[in-house]
Amino acid sequence: MISPDHPRYRSLVTRERLAACAKKGVVAMEGLTAHGRGEAFDYLIGERTTESARRAEETAAAMLMTARHPVISVNGNTAALASREIAELQKASGALVEVNLFHRTEERVAMIEKILAAAGADVFSGEAERLLPLSHDRAWSRREGMFSADIVLVPLEDGDRCEALVGMGKQVIAIDLNPLSRTAQHATLTIVDEVTRALPEITRACAELSAEDRTRLLATSDNHYLLSEAIREITMRLAHALD
């Protein structure tokens, strides 16, 4: 029997949670495929927070804490897996929380907002408009939400929106287990870690970093280096897989 502390046990629980949320309509069926792809990359990094990921998480905290108008964008998978973690990060960072969906219906938006609110998040809701330069439903945003943000944290992101947000002059923090994805390559800062590990680390750093720490992290931030380190860590793990 797998111990509850073992990463594989947490993976099993995560799958069950996602499946249950998919049956309710919170998670789109396509979201299950996306999760499986990410889970494969999590195996490659050893189902742990690597050194480069922890550096990225501290940098993300520095960015959020110094932002003018930070926004945490939440989709169905993120709400299903990490609603409590989102609420805790919001409290630590002061960021606004807004739901944004690729497979958007008003019913799904309402369900996800309810899940987030039950976890303690103060969800920014209200009338949305097609404000982002996208041809699909991720274009919908509140005018005082993501559209007005200077920094957007996008857990479990898609490449189209990441490129669009960067093109609008915003800084994008992405949590993406695949360092080769379009999202990872185009984001201002990419955290190559699993979302339920990454969010608490960002929250912790928000509370612990000094003003000097934040200044240093922002001055030395280099996403190309962090992605290179993530790939190196995967390569080293594969090289010693049979040891």
pTM over cut 0.75: yes
Residue 229 pLDDT? 97
Measured between alpha carbons, how far is 207 from 243 in angstroms, rounded to an integer?
A: 39
Q: How far apart are the first and last CA of the chain?
A: 24
Surface-to-core class of residue 121, CB atoms within 10 Å of its CB (0-12 exposed, 13-18 middle, 19+ buried): buried
pLDDT at residue 157 is higher than 80: no
Average pLDDT score over residue span 68-74? 96
Measured between alpha carbons, how far is 76 from 121 in angstroms, rounded to an integer?
A: 15
**For residues 22 and 29, is the Cβ–Cβ distance under 8 A?**
yes
pLDDT band at residue 9 under the 50/70/90 scheme: very low
Average pLDDT score over residue span 62-83? 93
Q: Per-residue pLDDT tens for 22-37? A: 667 566 656 556 655 7
Average pLDDT score over residue span 75-91? 92
* Residue located via tokens 């690729």: 102
Name 171's bridge partners. 151
Q: Per-residue pLDDT tens for 108-129? A: 888 899 999 999 999 998 888 8
Please state which of the ranges 42-46, 55-59, 82-86, 172-176 shows the lowest mean pLDDT: 42-46
Measured between alpha carbons, how far is 179 from 167 in angstroms, rounded to an integer?
A: 20
Surface-to-core class of residue 74, CB atoms within 10 Å of its CB (0-12 exposed, 13-18 middle, 19+ buried): buried
The half-sphere exposure of 47 on its side-chain side, counting CA atoms within 13 A, is 11
Average pLDDT score over residue span 191-212? 96
pLDDT band at residue 150 under the 50/70/90 scheme: very high
User: CB neighbours of 215 closer than 8 A, spacing ≥ 6?
Assistant: 62
Task: Give me 141's structure tokens.
Answer: 């945003």
Q: What angle do CA 149, 151, 152 make, to 5 degrees?
A: 85
Task: Set out the domains of the chain in order of their start, with CATH numbers.
Answer: 51-239 (3.40.50.12640)
Residue 186 pLDDT? 94
Residue 33 pLDDT? 60
Task: Give me 6's structure tokens.
Answer: 């073992």
Task: Give me 147's structure tokens.
Answer: 């559209």
Residue 43 pLDDT? 87
pLDDT at residue 187 is higher than 60: yes
